[in-house]
Amino acid sequence: MTWSILSDSSCDLPQNAFQDYGLHFATVPLKLIVGGTEYTDDDSLNVNIMLAQMKNYKGPSSSACPSPEEWAIEFRKSDCTLAVTMTSALSGTYNSALVARDMVLEEFPWKKIHVIDSHSTAGGLVLILRKAAELISSGLDFDEVVKQAEAYSRSLFLLFALGSYDNLIKSGRMSRVAGILANSLGIRAVASNTPEGEIKVLHKPRGEERAIMQIVETMNKLKDMAGKPVVISHCNNPKGAQRLKELIAHVCLTTKITILQTRGLTSYYTENGGFLVGF
């Protein structure tokens, strides 16, 4: 019996991320549209070129979820597939994967396919994917892998601080006046995902250091962090990510901390200097 674990490209992982587990892993890419240019969020994307065009282009920009057929191509490759998508509250990616699942099960009724709505993105997806890989490698059957992976996904949180509000303004997700004011005041709003996968602003500190402090304090309030895994994704901010890692290790008493560079979609919304923390 062959296994695949899949995600969309908001997980920030390369295609070889789980090769040590002997599993097929793939990310199904989203698209980013800036001016007349469409970027595919795969391993070949030069994120810095995309970010530079975004900064220079003053018109609206947008993102587009993968088509059902793009998901279906991956679903056809294995006997058992577990896919984990970014939150359905902010993207059509989850629904597209469900359509693809139904398409493939009509063609191959014996296949087993399950899609998890992470209600998260970035590090939240990484943690669920890692858990799934561990469960599969332990020899559990499909139904038990799904049950435990779903339960684990509901125990996770995501916190983030954006580097800028420009793309939230351009994509129509934030008013222009509010965004310009926040940028000019140096406000690094700390936000979280809700249980429904929506965005909730928790704090409005000024400056990166205060944002980092607020993130770590909030992590400790949300759950017992001792020994728990953490994934930090940053957009061209390795120094800030390292500072965040050190503070998490000191305050939250965990050393299981991974730092990743954001890929296309998460860079598009987080922007230079921003970071996301899944835990």
Could you report the per-residue pLDDT of 53-104, keeping only the tens digit for each?
A: 988 888 888 899 999 999 999 999 999 999 999 999 989 999 999 999 999 9
Flag whether the pTM goes above 0.75: yes
pLDDT at 17: 94
Strand partners, 80: 3, 112
Q: Does 172 score more than 70 pLDDT?
A: no
pLDDT bracket for residue 14 (50, 70, 90): very high
**pLDDT higher for 207 or 119?**
119
CATH number for the domain running over 158-278: 3.30.1180.10
Let me know how long the chain is. 279
Print burial letters for 176-189: b (CB count within 10 Å at least 16), e (below 16).
eeebeebeeeebbb
pLDDT bracket for residue 187 (50, 70, 90): low
What's phi and psi for 111, nearest 5 deg?
Answer: -70, 155
CATH class of 3-30+65-154: alpha beta
Domain coordinates in residue numbering, the chain: 3-30+65-154, 158-278
Average pLDDT of the residues of the chain = 92
- What CA–CA distance (Å, rounded) separates 243 from 238? 9
Q: Pick from 157, 178, 172, 243: which is nearest to 207 by CA?
A: 243
Could you report the per-residue pLDDT of 262-274, keeping only the tens digit for each?
A: 999 999 989 999 9
pLDDT bracket for residue 119 (50, 70, 90): very high
DSSP characters over 76-115? TT-SEEEEEES-TTT-SHHHHHHHHHHHHHHH-TT-EEEE
- What CA–CA distance (Å, rounded) separates 4 from 136? 10
